[in-house]
Structure 1
Amino acid sequence: MPEGHPALVRALLDDLDERSAKPIGDAAALVLEAIAADGLVHVGGAGHSLALVCETFYRAGGLACVRPLWDPSVLPLNDALASTDAERRPGLGLSVVRAADPSPPDVAVVFSTSGRNPYPVEIARECAARGVPVIAVTSPEASRHAAARAESRLTDHATVVVDTAVPPGDVVHPPGAARTAAASTILAAYAWTRLLAELHDLAAGRGLDLPCWTSANVPGGDERNRHLLERYRHRVPELGGPPD
């Protein structure tokens, strides 16, 4: 049996399954209703949570009806310190949502481990105010220990909360005095892929065909994706704009 860090990660995944099996099913049902009504799935996050936004967008096996909610200033790769400042800056999340202009029957997914910075909180609050259901992929336990930089928490504006069970501070190794090995990306990515699996099964039960990308690196992938690009690129500018 695995010991040490592998065993700990597996235990965290089991904890996520125990806490969030029903919320993930509820979230999948919300996403399916949006897709069935020809809505979009708006996905937001900042800092390293942008890794999860990338995981949802233009991804082999992922949904073609995803639109990323983001601003370049929250990407750490260009200027890490500036990205932290941007995530904490009031008004930026609100402006991102206003630019995307989500409305029913759309749904929103917001990734944020702490859920306490203005950027993800504003995205969730504004989407909810527009009548767009919000799925929060977060850790309430980590949020309780995080610095309060917004007047509310991400969970306060969520229709469904998927608890990733990420411990406060994110890092998990060595046990008892953790200094390294952050777990949030592993756990949130697993939660998203489990949601996609639940979504597939729900859609199959209703006889619905999900708009999923095929890997461009397998024979016929580009051809299979072409009709999805034609269907969504005028509604998702991040796919490259309208066809000529």
Structure 2
Amino acid sequence: MSYLTNVSQKLLDIESSQFSKFVEVSENLSRIIQGGGIVHTFGCGHFSLLAQDVFYRAGGLVPVHPIWIEELMLHRGARQASENERKSGLVQPYLEKEDLQKKDAVLIISTSGRNPAPIETAIYCKERGLYTVGLTSLDYKESQHSRHHSNYRIEDIVDEVIDMEVPVGDTIMQKGDQSYSPVSSVVGAGILHELMTRTIERIAESGEKPPCFQKW
């Protein structure tokens, strides 16, 4: 099968298995937005790109804010970003400068759920009363132990988990003994836009006009 065929099936599987989570999380996000809150997004490396993908998008929600930490982004050096994601204590000084309020939500994207940067972001936001949602792959839980000194993984901290169902190693194609072609970016983007879409529709169903960007 082609990459597109495999990815399409993966997205359909997630739509079915995570349906109740999509409903619950989008209902909470719509309530938060209607209460004047903001949906923050956070990711490291390639997932910093996903955190930006739902920000300032035509047809997307206005009250969305990515948490940018350049030391965790690819343009500052891919290897360095990967190493920084594993450093305890790196994110807190940056998070302290963000306007993170109790009425807000945060979506934290981390396939493995094991590195200190996303874990400490989840801890920081949870302690401040934000509604925290982790997008992670629970397939990593058995074989990929936490790199954080607490031994917590992201799913141990957040209020809600959406399972990205990404296989360990991130690849979806196989020839002989070689696996290749990452799937987490497509899956992560699909999940984020599913949540945003359902949140918009939920707000509309309540009788309010969803705060969406309209560009012509």
Pick the TM interval, shorter chain: over 0.9
Q: 1:18 to 1:128 in 2, by over 3 A?
A: same
Letter in 2 for 1:207: G
Structure 2 residue matching 1:77: 3-state secondary structure: helix
User: How many angstroms apart in 1 are the aligned matches of 2:141 and 2:58?
Assistant: 31
What is the match of residue 166 of structure 2?
166
Find 2:20's aligned residue among 19, 22, 44.
Answer: 22
Structure 1 outlier segments of 4+, above 3 Å: 175-178
Q: Superposition pairs for residues 121-200 of structure 1, below 5 Å? A: 121-150=119-148, 151-174=151-174, 177-200=177-200
Q: Superposition pairs for residues 218-233 of structure 1, below 5 Å? A: 218=216
The Cα shift of 1:5 comes to 2.8
User: How many angstroms apart in 2 are the aligned matches of 1:142 and 1:62?
Assistant: 31
- TM-score for the superposition, normalised by structure 2: 0.92
Contact 1:171 1:178 (8 Å CA) reproduced: no
Q: Superposition pairs for residues 1-244 of structure 1, below 5 Å? A: 3-150=1-148, 151-174=151-174, 177-215=177-215, 218=216
The Cα shift of 1:176 comes to 7.0
Structure 1 residue matching 2:108: 3-state secondary structure: strand
Q: Work out which structure has the larger RCO, using CA pairs closer than 8 Å and 6 or more positions apart in sequence.
A: 2
% of aligned pairs identical?
Answer: 28
Contact 1:113 1:184 (8 Å CA) reproduced: yes
Contact 1:172 1:178 (8 Å CA) reproduced: no
The Cα shift of 1:203 comes to 0.9
Contact 1:96 1:123 (8 Å CA) reproduced: no
User: How many angstroms apart in 1 are the aligned matches of 2:64 and 2:4?
Assistant: 32
* CA deviation profile, 1:185-230 (whole Å, cap 9, x unmatched): 1101111111122112211111122221123xx2xxxxxxxxxxxx
Structure 1 residue matching 2:91: 3-state secondary structure: helix
Instruction: Give the gaps of 5 or more residues in structure 2.
Output: none
Structure 2 residue matching 1:99: 3-state secondary structure: coil
Which of the pair is proportionally richer in helix? 1
> CA-atom RMSD, angstroms?
1.6
Larger radius of gyration: 1
User: How many angstroms apart in 1 are the aligned matches of 2:99 and 2:201?
Assistant: 30
- TM-score for the superposition, normalised by structure 1: 0.82
Structure 2 residue matching 1:211: 3-state secondary structure: coil
